[in-house]
Amino acid sequence: MCVTGKSIWQGATGAERNGFKGVYVLECDAAAPRAEWKRKMNGIPATCQPFFACMAANDADTIYLGGGQGYPKSGPSVLKTSDGGETWTNVFETDGNKNIATGWAGEGGDFRWSWPEYVLGLDVSPVDRNRVVITDLGCIHLTTDGGKTWRQIYNTPAGERTPGRPTPRGDVYVSRGMEPTAAWYVAWLDEKNLIGCYSDIRGVRSTDGGKHWGWNYSGHQLNALYHAIQHPSNGRAYAAASGLHDMYMSMFLADNTIDKAKGLAVYSTDAGANWKALHDFGSPVLWLAPDPKQPNRLYASVAHSKNGGIWRTDDLDKDGASTWTRLSAPPRTEGHPLNIHVLHDGTLACSFSGRRAGKGFTPSSGFFISDDAGKTWEDRSDPGMRYWTKDVVPDPHDRKQNIWYACVFHAWGPGTSDGKSGLYRTRDRGKTWALLAGKELAPSGLLNVNSLTIDPSNPNEAYLTTEYDGLWWTGNLRDAKPTFVPVTSYPFRHPTRVFFNPYQKSEVWVTSFGNGIHVGTVDK
pLDDT digits 0-9 by tens, 352-376: 999 999 999 999 999 999 999 999 9
Q: What is the pLDDT of residue 383?
A: 97
Q: Pick from 147, 169, 191: which residue ends a domain?
A: 169
336 domain-assigned: yes
The total number of residues written for the chain in this structure? 524
> Are residue 220 and residue 114 in the same domain, yes or no?
no
What average pLDDT does range 405-413 have in this prediction?
97
Look at residue 295 and give its three-state secondary structure: strand
- Cα gap 335→339, rounded to integer Å: 13
Domain that holds residue 60: 2-169
> Are residue 150 and residue 222 in the same domain, yes or no?
no
> Are residue 499 and residue 460 in the same domain, yes or no?
yes
> Are residue 148 and residue 204 in the same domain, yes or no?
no
| Contact partners, residue 107, CB within 8 Å, separation at least 6 | 94, 95, 96, 97, 113, 166, 167
> Are residue 338 and residue 434 in the same domain, yes or no?
yes
Q: Pick from 154, 169, 184: which residue ends a domain?
A: 169
pLDDT band at residue 452 using 50, 70 and 90 as cut-offs: very high
Angle at 98 between CA 93 and CA 104, to 5 degrees: 90
- Cα gap 78→134, rounded to integer Å: 9
Q: Give the DSSP letter of residue 96.
A: G
> Are residue 234 and residue 163 in the same domain, yes or no?
no
What is the b/e burial string over 23-38, where b = at least 16 CB atoms within 10 angstroms of the residue's CB? bbbeeeeeeeeeeeee
461 domain-assigned: yes
175 domain-assigned: no
**For residue 31, pLDDT beyond 80:** no
Contact 425, 403 (CB under 8 A): yes
* Alpha-carbon dihedral 289, 292, 298, 301, rounded to 10 degrees: -20
189 domain-assigned: no
Q: Pick from 128, 151, 169: which residue ends a domain?
A: 169
Range with the largest mean pLDDT of 8-12, 16-20, 28-32, 509-513: 509-513
- Cα gap 236→229, rounded to integer Å: 8
193 domain-assigned: no
pLDDT band at residue 158 using 50, 70 and 90 as cut-offs: confident
> Are residue 93 and residue 212 in the same domain, yes or no?
no
Q: Per DSSP, which regions of 70-203 are E strands?
A: 76-81, 89-90, 100-101, 119-125, 128-136, 140-143, 150-152, 172-173, 183-188, 194-198
- Cα gap 401→341, rounded to integer Å: 11
Q: Is the N-terminal amide bond of 72 cis, ω within 30° of 0? A: yes
| Global confidence as pTM | 0.94
Angle at 423 between CA 418 and CA 428, to 5 degrees: 90
CATH code, 461: 2.130.10.10
> Are residue 235 and residue 144 in the same domain, yes or no?
no
> Are residue 265 and residue 165 in the same domain, yes or no?
no
> Are residue 114 and residue 205 in the same domain, yes or no?
no
124 domain-assigned: yes
pLDDT in tens, 63-117: 999 999 987 789 999 999 999 999 999 999 999 999 999 999 999 999 999 999 9
> Are residue 121 and residue 249 in the same domain, yes or no?
no
- Cα gap 133→297, rounded to integer Å: 52
What average pLDDT does range 151-155 have in this prediction?
95
Burial group, residue 440, by CB count within 10 angstroms (0-12, 13-18, 19+)? exposed
- Cα gap 368→386, rounded to integer Å: 11
Q: Single out the residue of 351, 309, 306 nearest to residue 326, CA to CA.
A: 309
**For residue 32, pLDDT beyond 80:** no
192 domain-assigned: no
The secondary structure element, H or E, covering residue 2 is strand 2-5
- Cα gap 367→382, rounded to integer Å: 8
Number of domains, the chain: 2
pLDDT band at residue 35 using 50, 70 and 90 as cut-offs: confident
Q: What is the pLDDT of residue 469?
A: 97
Look at residue 124 and give its three-state secondary structure: strand
Radius of gyration of the chain (CA): 26
Q: Give the DSSP letter of residue 317.
A: G
**Residue 370, amino acid:** S
Contact 62, 83 (CB under 8 A): no
> Are residue 303 and residue 435 in the same domain, yes or no?
yes
What average pLDDT does range 117-124 have in this prediction?
97
182 domain-assigned: no
Q: What is the pLDDT of residue 523?
A: 83
pLDDT in tens, 286-317: 999 999 999 999 999 999 999 999 999 999 99
